[in-house]
């Protein structure tokens, strides 16, 4: 059941969406178009994997609705909405344009967003944490004698980080921090994100990538994942007071998580 009147615009301060995968036939562009046409915001963050260049390379697929999504976003940018595009791994090529403004859309490798109540959130796609997460099951099976492996991983990981202009981050220290919790991929991802948020001295992190929407407070920082428009059709929105909520926008609208103070994370669907 929709908590909003059917035709009224939804007015929020900020909208975060990611993992739209335009150019991939799994994209739920119709629902997204409906959402974009109904929502009014000061700032729209596109948190990566907006255009699926990997899929387009395999086979070209670009229906009218996907074009309409692009046009709707560009129209918002033209009409005064600040649009910030933080590319992901499926649209990695756009990372080369860090700092550029194309069609009123700001392209950023990552962004810092201050919510209305003053808290600062780092906005990035989330594939930055893949290497750490893939390593963890290996590490668990290797047990204590795995230092050589960890150091090699550390070297490789930091080579990648350096390429993207990140400072050094000790994988070993991170693994030590989390290895006690033998938990699944999602939890590892959330913890990696939270660890990075603390390391960077921000109040929280807003990301996508794993196609699993959620808001959770993890060891003093707020983890927000805006989900995706392939399976879950979710958006993260900030209201005028700086509260962050998750919406699922399909034929109906559900508030999955209202206000980010909640300690219970909302999770949906599977990682992708
Ligand atoms: Mn991704």
Residue 3 Cα to ligand 1 middle (Å): 30
Q: Give a yes or no: residue 266 inside a domain.
A: no
Summarize pLDDT for 149-191 with one digit per residue, the tens.
665 666 677 677 777 776 666 565 566 555 444 346 677 888 8
How crowded is residue 107: how many other Cβ atoms within 10 Å of its Cβ? 19
Q: 105 is in which domain, residue-wise?
A: 10-257
Residue 217 Cα to ligand 1 middle (Å): 22
- Of residues 159 and 61, which shows the higher confidence score? 61
> 98 Cβ partners below 8 Å, 6+ apart?
107, 108, 109
Angle at which helices 185-200 and 130-142 pack, to 10 degrees?
120
Q: Give a yes or no: residue 271 inside a domain.
A: no
Q: Give a yes or no: residue 1 inside a domain.
A: no
Is residue 198 pLDDT above 80, yes or no?
Answer: yes
Compute the average pLDDT of residues 193-205: 95
Residue 87 Cα to ligand 1 middle (Å): 9
Q: What is the pLDDT of residue 170?
A: 59
Residue 208 Cα to ligand 1 middle (Å): 7
Residue 48 Cα to ligand 1 middle (Å): 7
Residue whose token pair is 């930091």? 158
- d(CA 240, CA 84) in angstroms, rounded, equals 19
Q: Give a yes or no: residue 103 inside a domain.
A: yes
Q: What is the pLDDT of residue 271?
A: 31
Asked if residue 115 lies in contact with residue 12, where contact means CB atoms within 8 angstroms, the answer is no
Q: Give a yes or no: residue 27 inside a domain.
A: yes
- Of residues 264 and 75, which shows the higher confidence score? 75
Q: How does DSSP classify residue 88? A: -
Residue 49 Cα to ligand 1 middle (Å): 5
Asked if residue 244 lies in contact with residue 115, where contact means CB atoms within 8 angstroms, the answer is yes
Q: What is the pLDDT of residue 203?
A: 97
- Of residues 72 and 163, which shows the higher confidence score? 72
- Of residues 196 and 165, which shows the higher confidence score? 196
Compute the average pLDDT of residues 108-137: 87
- d(CA 139, CA 145) in angstroms, rounded, equals 9
Q: Give a yes or no: residue 268 inside a domain.
A: no
Mean pLDDT rounded to a whole number for the chain: 83
Q: Per-residue confidence at 267, pLDDT binned at 50, 70, 90?
A: very low
- Of residues 84 and 178, which shows the higher confidence score? 84
- d(CA 255, CA 235) in angstroms, rounded, equals 10
Asked if residue 43 lies in contact with residue 14, where contact means CB atoms within 8 angstroms, the answer is yes
- Of residues 164 and 77, which shows the higher confidence score? 77
- d(CA 252, CA 98) in angstroms, rounded, equals 36
Residue 145 Cα to ligand 1 middle (Å): 32
CATH number, domain containing residue 19: 3.60.21.10
The CA–CA distances, whole Å, from 198 to 39, 46, 97 equal 32, 23, 27
**Max mean pLDDT range (51-55, 137-141, 233-237):** 233-237
Asked if residue 202 lies in contact with residue 121, where contact means CB atoms within 8 angstroms, the answer is yes
Secondary structure (3-state) at 127? helix
Residue whose token pair is 């009224």? 8
Residue 113 Cα to ligand 1 middle (Å): 20
Q: Give a yes or no: residue 142 inside a domain.
A: yes
Asked if residue 117 lies in contact with residue 203, where contact means CB atoms within 8 angstroms, the answer is no
Is residue 55 pLDDT above 90, yes or no?
Answer: no
Report the Cα 205 to chain-centroid distance in Å: 9
Q: What is the pLDDT of residue 134?
A: 59
Q: Give a yes or no: residue 199 inside a domain.
A: yes
Residue 4 Cα to ligand 1 middle (Å): 30
The total number of structural domains that make up the chain: 1
């Amino acid at each position: 059941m929709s908590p909003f009147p059917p035709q009224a615009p939804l007015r929020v301060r900020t909208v975060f969406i990611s993992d739209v995968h335009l150019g991939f036939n799994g994209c739920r562009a119709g629902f997204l178009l409906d959402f974009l046409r109904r929502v009014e915001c000061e700032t729209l963050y596109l948190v990566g994997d907006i255009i699926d260049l990997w899929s387009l390379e395999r086979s070209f697929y670009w229906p009218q609705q996907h074009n309409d999504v692009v046009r709707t976003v560009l129209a918002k940018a033209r009409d005064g909405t600040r649009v910030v595009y933080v590319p992901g791994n499926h649209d990695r090529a756009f990372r080369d344009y860090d700092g550029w403004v194309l069609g009123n859309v700001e392209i950023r490798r990552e962004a810092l967003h201050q919510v209305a109540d003053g808290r600062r959130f780092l906005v990035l796609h989330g594939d930055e944490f893949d290497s750490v997460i893939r390593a963890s099951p290996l590490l668990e099976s290797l047990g204590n004698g795995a230092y050589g492996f960890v150091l090699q991983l550390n070297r490789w990981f930091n080579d990648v980080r350096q390429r993207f202009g990140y400072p050094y981050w000790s994988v070993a220290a991170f693994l030590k921090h989390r290895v006690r919790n033998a938990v699944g991929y999602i939890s590892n991802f959330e913890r990696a994100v939270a660890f990075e948020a603390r390391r960077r001295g921000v109040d929280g992190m807003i990301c996508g990538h794993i196609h699993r929407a959620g808001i959770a407070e993890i060891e003093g920082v707020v983890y927000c994942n805006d989900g995706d428009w392939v399976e879950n059709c979710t958006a993260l929105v900030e209201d005028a007071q700086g509260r962050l909520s998750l919406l699922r926008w399909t034929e109906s609208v559900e508030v999955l998580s209202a206000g980010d103070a909640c300690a219970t994370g909302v999770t949906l669907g599977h990682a992708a």
